[in-house]
Chains A and B, each alone.
Chain A
Amino acid sequence: MSQGVTDDQVPAGQDPVLAVEDLSVCFEAGRQLKALSQVSVTVGRAEIVGVVGESGCGKSLTALSVMGLLPHNATVTGGRVVLEGVDLGSLNGRQRRDLRGRRMSMVFQEPMVALNPLMRAGRQVTEVLSVHSLLSRPARKERTLALFREVGLADPEARYRQYPHQLSGGMRQRVMIAMALAAEPSLLIADEPTTALDPTVQSQILQIFLDIRDRLGTSVLLVTHDMGVIAEVADRVTVMYAGRVVESAPVSEIFHRPAHPYTAGLLASIPARNADRGRAEDLPTIPGRVPALGEITAGCPFAPRCERAQTRCLQEEPGLLAAGPAHLAACWYPLEQDRLPAPARSET
């Protein structure tokens, strides 16, 4: 094709849809508690980026910062969030509200809480369309029914008229995803979208994220604690611990060549990886527990639980260093340090 040459000059996914750059967030609770420290995450077009970590690691707070939905006692103390080239910090409240829903939207863990219980499922979606589109009333209904089909709701006409309490958990989550997709956003942020669901329903919902990535080209920032969910759908992964990014890489790198001992520990905790282990043998564990805000001391925040930790780890906090192609890890003594140097081709 004659256009091919020009196309090649614009590498696919060069401009990320979302770029979180060195974002820091503090909580005010008598004293300043640092909840996010220089967090950077990018999401390319039609890419699913998983943000994984345990309670208190800052993964949900990162998602809320992007949406501009931080709790009142939290403030951004540094860094910026750029959505399709627009620095969200430069916008006023009205401009920001306009972006929210139209260019990015969010799916929460508990659809029963996020949906309006007094509003029929159809209206929850048509309302989004009346704010973010110029469609007529009948067109809004048509579009809503199409969205319901898109997210795999059986019998969309019936669902349209039902209230959230008349729907099952899986159907509610589908309605919420339909709402989030209504204005065709470039970025969908999903915070533990399958945690409250049954296993068979979880795999149905995960399939929707793959479908919208492939069919609509939607980018997804998927926040989860579950490495299994990451293994199922993520293209790239950011691992967070104690308000920091500790590792970031394509999904196969994370699973096959983890560089950070914390990532390796999370992987070792996946039950399926231990299915063949003898019953008398202990499962691998990460000793200790996740530090609370304000318990984080100098040095690497993971050092107190890390069996590889040395003096340097307790004194000096490691920044993100290259650990392979498109692979970063914040560790002074990463795993597989001595493997062959990565190929010269660089990806960003």
Chain B
Amino acid sequence: MTSAPPPELSPSPPAGARPEVLVECTEVVKTYQTAASLLGRRSMRAVDGVSFTVTAGSVMGLVGETGSGKSTTGRLVLGLERPTSGRVVFAGQDLASMSGGDLRRLRRQMQPVAQDPYSALNGRMRVSEILAEPFIVHRTVPKAQIRRQTEELVDLVGLPADSLDRYPHEFSGGQRQRIVIARAIALQPRLIVCDEPLSALDVSVQSQIINLLRRLQAEFSLTYLFISHDLGIVRLLCDTVAVMYLGQLMELASRDALFDAPAHPYTRALLASVPVSDPLERRSRARRPLGGEAERDPTTSQGCPFQARCPLAEEECRQRRPEWRQVEPGHFVACHLAGPGHPAA
């Protein structure tokens, strides 16, 4: 494949002057083998040459539709999957070079919060046991102090103190997600990878959890990688936003730049598909939803993955994969047509 050059973000920022880079992905590729057929094995690039950095203490949104590779990227960052090629560096250490105890110690600093709080908790364990487990596994706290730690955790996430002696099924979806979050912050991690943490929740409960995530982030200077298909929520939580499509990064920018001046046609289509928040806006919006769906074309790997649906696609888009380039400071786009003087601008 034609690999995009790495972004011009500093690979090793000196401590002090510049904000610390907590996560750095460089040219990360993750390939899965799909069913073998008469024609031989096929492989599918779930993540295809992705490069980005996450600054410590910031919230980065990772947005995309089904099959965009956003969840796989989250698992790669957590070290739950090994990249086929490319590097994932966390706090200056290459995850692939580590194993055993070192990896476990590093993992302590990164925690997942998954979508479904129903399957993320062991139904046979009391909340006190669920929350004590990280301390026991990582032996960070003497046994005698565990109970007090769990009491603090429950309080931090806004659950009543008597929650500790109850079982997950006694809680609502929102409360369960609070338990999952409490477990995630137990070991005082630096990074939390949230994968669609709100989509199983009722609307009125979503804002409660958003408020909780924001409060914890400010209080503990947490870094979030926030994976979601919901641009409305991403806008509320994130400092920077990366947009993925069929395994590749399409655009990465600060939140304001991405929402106010999106450079990639796919980002624009995605923004246009967010439902209006007022029926009066119906008329004013372009009534031309993007056609088609995100589908991999197994016959070709060249060109831009979005070209089949792109209203602006030209011959070059079918021939050559766009490089990942910076159009404004901190604003990266993979599109031949983006940038000053181009039709996508």
Q: Please list the residues of chain A having a beta carbon within 8 angstroms of any beta carbon in chain B.
A: 54-55, 154, 168-171, 198-204, 206-207, 225-232, 234, 251-252, 255-256, 265-266, 268-275, 277, 279-280, 282-287, 289-290
Contacts and interface: CB of A to CB of B under 8 A. Distances in A.
B277 A200 contact: no
Given A199-B274, A255-B278, A270-B277, A168 B295 contact: yes
Given A272-B277, A283-B210, A285-B207, 13 more contacts: A168-B293, A199-B274, A200-B269, A227-B277, A228-B276, A231-B276, A232-B276, A252-B279, A255-B280, A269-B206, A283-B236, A289-B204, A290-B202
B99 to A, nearest CB: 37
A286 B204 CA distance: 6
Contacts of B151: none
B294 interface: yes
B2 interface: no
B275 A226 contact: yes
A289 B65 contact: no
Contacts of A203: 272-273, 275, 289-290
22 contacts: A54-B202, A55-B202, A154-B291, A154-B292, A199-B270, A199-B273, A200-B273, A200-B293, A200-B294, A203-B273, A231-B276, A231-B277, A234-B279, A252-B279, A270-B203, A271-B233, A274-B236, A275-B259, A282-B215, A283-B236, A284-B207, A289-B202
Contacts of B175: 289
Contacts of A277: 236
B217 to A, nearest CB: 10
Contacts of B229: 198-199
Interface in B141-175: 172-175
Interface string B255-294: 0000100000000011011111111111000010111111
B211 interface: yes
Contact of A200 (B204, B205, B218, B290): B290
A283 B290 contact: no
B203 A227 contact: yes
Nearest to B67: A198
B230 interface: yes
A342 to B, nearest CB: 19
A55 B172 CA distance: 11
Interface residues of B, number: 47
Nearest to A198: B65
Contacts of A266: 203-204
A240 to B, nearest CB: 13
Contacts of A284: 207
B310 interface: no
B279 A251 contact: yes
A274 B174 CA distance: 20
A271 B276 contact: no
B204 A265 contact: yes
Interface in B167-206: 172-175, 202-206
Contacts of B289: 200, 203-204, 207
B126 interface: no
Nearest to A205: B289
A225 B173 CA distance: 15
B231 interface: yes
B291 A270 contact: no
Given A198-B229, A200-B269, A232 B203 contact: no
A228 B287 contact: no
Contacts of B211: 282-283, 285
Contacts of B92: none
Interface hub of A230, A256, A272, A285 (most chain B Cβ within 10 A): A272
B112 to A, nearest CB: 23
Interface in B190-246: 202-208, 210-211, 214-215, 218, 229-233, 235-236
Contacts of B43: none
Given A231-B277, A285-B211, A200 B270 contact: yes
